[in-house]
Amino acid sequence: MLSYFLIRNFRSILELKLDFTYGEGKAPNRQQEQKIMPFLEGGKKQRLVPCMAFFGANASGKTNILRSFAILKGLIRGDAPLADLFDPNRLNRKFADTTFELTFLNGEDIFNYKVTYDSSSIKEEALLKNGSTCFRLRDLKAEFSPALLSAAYSEEKLADIIRVECSDGNDKQTKSFLHRIGQAYPGLNADLKTAAMYIGNLNYQDNQHGIPLPIAVSILASTLKGDRSAALSEITDVVRRLDIDIQGIDMAQREVDEAEILQPGAFLQINPMTGARHTFLTTSTHKDVDGKTAVFDFIKQESAGTQRLAGLMGLVLYTLRTGGLLVIDEMECSLHPLLMREIVLMFKKRSLNPRGAQLVFNTHNTDILDDSILRLSEISLVRKTLANGTIVRRLIDIRKDGEDIRNITNFRKQYLDGLYSGIPHPAL
């Protein structure tokens, strides 16, 4: 469970620390009996929020905040060259490098991971557990915890792994040591694997492309021993219970040749061994006026909202099952406000979220502020200044500064009236 996330020198963000702790101080009365969780129990050390919603004007930096999670994941996994992942603040050159630092809880243990990089190299990378250093790399000079070392993995052996697998051969670190050692050497140390999996498995959904249903099915199937049919069934069941008029969804693999032009939204897979190309023929079923089954082409004939919702449900169910982190940019895209509300509730219902999964999202839909779902610690307001870049304040922090805010306050009206800032001021 995520407790803090620091972002320094990324796009509009100069320096920002996101706080996911439950700031109300004490638990509500009889909170263990409540169906809707006000917070997640992070052992005895911290209480954390299951959701965080960011509100703000256009161009305030909301997407940049959420995008930083995806960039960190890409950096850890080595999904792209550093030059493609380095995007510093261009209006304030206070910092030369970009830094991401997060703190998360795993059971009773508190992990802290930090990485600093520029367009050509990783300057520093460090992992701490309960305040003690597991490893620290600075300009390829390594410091290891004694617990990390063994007869099979001496300090010299680990240094060789860094030199051969994490550097460019010219005294520059270009790959994450955490991901390499946590994925390729899982038997080395359980703590490294825990940290690598937590960061590497977070899911980010952007505001332009819904996740294709075949990918969502594959992701969810990884929690079901690879059973794609069971995963598709779970997604279909949730979609149906959300009052989407679909009786069933079917998915069949189909080979395609290179000359075939696939329809927009189709998902293409290429076998790296054979070069074989295949896509998925996805159909949905409805009941007609006579009670007979009508078959629809899922991509061509279902609405964009239905397609986005089905794919998103795969990520939601995966995150709930693994106790991970799901980040969604502009969650309201193609979704009715009531459906958006239900997705938030899935993370807040004790029965659906027993492993401490968290949802982070931004939205322009203020209807959810009229509800009693989000608490003061779960609402963040975003604005931007030239001097300080993107700035974030939680409502709980505004209250602590002396302003009269309670959970029963009409946030929506007061927010739109400009009481908390974070709204546009058009001069037309």
Q: Tokens 């927010």, residue?
A: 415
pLDDT tens-digit series, residues 86-99: 999 999 989 999 99
Q: Please state, for a pLDDT cut of 70, what percent of the chain lies above it.
A: 91
Answer with the residue of higher pLDDT: 196 or 263.
Answer: 196
3-state secondary structure of 182: helix
**DSSP symbols for 389-411:** EEEEEEHHHHHHTT----TTS-H
Q: Determine which of 191-200, 237-246, 272-281, 310-319 has the lowest per-residue pLDDT on average.
A: 272-281
All structural domains of the chain with their residue ranges: 2-202+343-416, 207-303
The pLDDT confidence band at residue 405, using thresholds 50, 70 and 90, is low
pLDDT at 418 over 80: no
Q: What pLDDT score does 269 carry? A: 76
- Determine the average pLDDT of the residues in 377-405: 85
Range of lowest pLDDT (128-137, 205-214, 304-313): 205-214
Q: 248-255 and 277-287: which strand pairing? A: antiparallel
Position 265 scores a pLDDT of 62
- Predicted confidence (pLDDT) at residue 337 exceeds the cutoff of 70: yes
Q: What is the pLDDT of residue 34?
A: 83
Mean pLDDT across the stretch 372-384?
91
pLDDT of residue 329: 95
Mean pLDDT of 316-327: 97
In this predicted structure, what is the pLDDT of residue 136?
Answer: 96
Helix or strand holding residue 62 (H, E):
helix 62-77
Is residue 373 within 8 A of residue 344, CB to CB? The reply is yes
Higher pLDDT, 310 or 266: 310
User: pTM, whole model, 2 decimals?
Assistant: 0.90
How many whole angstroms separate alpha carbon 341 and alpha carbon 363?
A: 12
Residue with tokens 């050497």: 185
Q: Could you read off the pLDDT of 201-216 as tens digits, one per residue?
A: 899 998 777 888 999 9
Q: Give me the pLDDT at residue 236, please.
A: 95
- Closest by alpha carbon to 140, among 99, 169, 165, 171? 171
**Side chain identity at residue 179, one-letter code:** H
On the question of pLDDT at 324 being above 60, the answer is yes
Confidence at residue 273, expressed as pLDDT on a 0 to 100 scale: 76
Assess whether pLDDT exceeds 80 at residue 334: no
Greatest mean pLDDT among 34-48, 65-79, 243-257, 262-276: 65-79
pLDDT digits (tens, 9 = 90+) for 350-373: 999 999 999 999 998 888 887 778
pLDDT at 415 over 80: no
pLDDT category at 427 given cuts 50, 70, 90 is: very low
- Taking the C-alpha atoms of residue 188 and residue 184, their distance in angstroms, rounded to an integer, is 9
The CATH code for residues 2-202+343-416 is: 3.40.50
What integer best gives the mean pLDDT of the chain? 88
